[in-house]
Amino acid sequence: MAAAAGADACHGCHTVRRPGPASPRRPSPVGRIVVATLGAVPTVHPAPAAVTPSGLLALDLRELAERTPPQAVAIPLIILGAWLVNLILRWAIRRVGLRMIASADRLGEFMPDQFRSGASTNRMQARTETVTAMARSVASIIVVALAAALILAELGASLPAILASAGVVGVALGFGAQTLVRDMLAGFFIVVEDRYGVGDIVDCGAPVAGVVERVTLRSTRVRDISGTVWHIANGEVLSVGNKSQSWSRAVVDVVVAPDADIERAVAVLGEVGAALRSDDEWSGRITGAVEVLGVLLIDPTGVTLRALCDTEPAAQFEVEREFRLRVLQAFDAERIPLAQVVLPTVAGR
């Protein structure tokens, strides 16, 4: 009995408990999830006489979970999650962008028309690519920034301090780049609302008027009739007139002499307009009947008559030139005198 007690006491003396870790750093939320996941592996205590392979595997996983730092698993999971979130966001933005461009008339408070749904497929696709590219870039930047903040938090940095620093930097950039942000926001809504696009004839106020050659989120490039290229910041475009969106209108004013036969002149204008529209060369560019409004203005120089008609986008200028040429020939054949400007003369010369 004494020998047995001595043996037990001696066995107890050789039993040494493993000291615990010395005050480890409190893991982040992601780290706690990883530790809980690995720690949930059941530990099997097999009988000393029979150790099964499943028991050995459970013991190995338990030991691996105790020895592996949480950061070694949490950081790859953060990177994988950020990649998946970014992929899903880019896919969703693409689909939302298609619907948003399709309903741009409601967003921009424009009435829908046939040209936007049919003839402007390429233009709608270009607008969609521009808008979704910007939105995808913004989404990627946000996802990367959040992932970087979580990784730094796993490495020991304070997440509230990181967010506070990011807020201060954002405010500083916002104050320093107000003009840039304003121009990019204005360019975004120009594209979404389809105020104008490449190939449109616009009037942004004197002296900027001409054909749009390029539209970006930052600026717009316009070339006027003399060949001068104008670069306009989108934030500076407060009002713009688009002369070629959806449809255009040709307006022709003819000034006849005060003693001319006005009724005959109006009739000749109608005949010229009808002949122009029935011409195969011009019928595809004129979309509406030629309407003669009659007398528009009476002054000492003569009587002004006006005629107009709807045309295809950007075709109004060539229609006006052809209309004026035919009116000049018809009035000359009918002997309808045009108004003549009499220049004042100086006495003695």
Residue ranges in the chain modelled with pLDDT below 70: 1-68, 100-127, 130, 342-349
* Tokens read off for 258: 């005060």
* Tokens read off for 348: 């003695």
The architecture that CATH gives domain 248-334 is 2-Layer Sandwich (3.30)
* Ranges of H-type helices in the chain: 2-13, 29-39, 53-67, 70-102, 104-107, 114, 121-154, 159-176, 178-192, 262-278, 280-283, 316-334
Could you tell me the pTM of the whole model?
0.60
> CATH classification of 196-242 is 3.40.1260.10, yes or no?
no
Q: What is the pLDDT of residues 138-148, one digit of tens each?
A: 888 889 988 88
Q: What is the pLDDT of residues 189-241, one digit of tens each?
A: 888 788 888 888 999 988 899 999 988 888 999 999 999 999 999 999 889 99
Query: Which ranges in the chain are annotated with CATH 3.30.70.100?
Result: 248-334
Query: Which ranges in the chain are annotated with CATH 2.30.30.60?
Result: 196-242
